[in-house]
Copies of this chain bind each other. A is one copy, B any other.
Amino acid sequence: METRELRYFVAVAEELHFGRAAERLGIAQPPLSRAISRLERRLGATLLRRTSRSVGLTEAGAVLLREARAALDAVEAAERRTRRAAQAGDGTAGVVLATKAGAAGELLAKLLDAYAAEPDAVPVDVLLCGIGEQERLLRDGRADVALLHRPFDSVSGFDVEELRTEGQVLVLPGGHPLSGRASVRAAEVSELSGLPLPRWRGRDGTYPAGPGPEVRDHAQLLQLIGLGRAAAVLPESARPHLPGELVVVPVPDAPMVTTVIAWPPHSRSRGVAGLVRTATRL
């Protein structure tokens, strides 16, 4: 199977419409039809169920869609990482580290400082990204290593080292009834009088249904809390970055948050290895 065929198939499987898929691919519809037929013939499998009014995935097609996405990510990653390795001169190929904007601030600073002091350090590019974006970057090669937060981020398919585990705290606008409490139970948080929890943007760009304001990053969230329009449960380490007018109450029975450093399993380049070693010794 050639990657072109996989790209074609993914386009059709996502659009469920040959015409639109062809347009998206920048080719005409007939070559696309032919390519898919040939793919089906070579695989000995029916991938799409077509009536002349609609297109649907078969069981085998659904399998190929999942697998093809993973394979295309891997190919794309190969291309990107090679390009990067080439353009930085031999030996000094930099490393791209992805991290959530507005989280893990002082840990990141300590890591970068400590690593820069290592004898064999290579340049590190830091990529600040939105919620849930790191997984994607790591998979398609735009990043080489990432700081993730379990259980929020999926680490599935990556090698990880745990760096730190911490509890969570409830962040409230000043003057809220709960703001004087020494601690709050998780159950109480879900029924906060008048203060809805925010809805984070999912990795597909949509928001889950329900009440609460739609939120894309920490800055937005903190502003909303300051305005008395929301409350949120965040890892303890967010505390130093909070503006003074917000109040913090520990939530002892909220799930623990573990910060991990993650990298694709096969890519133990010198830069990644050094960064991971430094991080675990922090």
The 9 closest A-B pairs by CB, nearest first: A45-B86, A67-B78, A157-B265, A60-B86, A71-B74, A156-B265, A63-B85, A64-B82, A60-B85
Q: Could you tell me the distance between the alpha carbons of A144 and B130 in the complex, rounded to whole angstroms?
A: 32
Q: How close is A69's CB to chain B, nearest CB, in angstroms?
A: 7
Interface mask (A1-19 → B, CB under 8 Å = 1, otherwise 0): 1111010000000000000
State whether B67 touches A266 (Cβ < 8 A): yes
Q: Please determine whether B158 and A66 come into contact, CB atoms closer than 8 angstroms.
A: no
* Chain A 135-152 per-residue mask, 1 if CB under 8 angstroms from chain B, else 0: 000000100000000000
Q: List 8 A-B contacts (CB under 8 A).
A: A43-B82, A45-B82, A59-B85, A66-B267, A67-B81, A71-B77, A75-B75, A156-B265
Q: Is the interface of A mostly helix, strand, loop or mixed?
A: helix
- Given A67-B141, A157-B265, 9 extra CB contacts under 8 A: A43-B83, A59-B93, A60-B85, A60-B93, A63-B93, A67-B81, A74-B74, A74-B75, A157-B158
Q: In the complex the two chains form, is A1's CB within 8 Å of B157's CB?
A: no
Option from B3, B47, B78 in Cβ contact (under 8 Å) with A70:
B78
Question: Using Cβ atoms and an 8 Å threshold, which residues of chain B touch A44?
Answer: 83, 86-87
Given the complex, which residues of B lie within 8 Å of A156, measured CB to CB? 159, 265
**Is A79 an interface residue, CB under 8 A from the partner?**
yes
A104 at the interface (CB under 8 A from B): no
Give the distance in Å from the alpha carbon of A86 to the alpha carbon of B83 in the complex. 37
A190 part of interface (Cβ distance < 8 Å): no
For the complex, is A269 an interface residue (Cβ under 8 Å from B)? yes
A148 to chain B, nearest CB (A): 14
Q: Give the contacting residue for A78; candidates B46, B58, B64; CB below 8 A.
A: B64
Q: Is A243 an interface residue (CB 8 A)?
A: no
Q: How far is the CA of A37 from the CA of B21 in the complex (A)?
A: 32
State the CA gap A93–B68 with chains docked (Å): 18
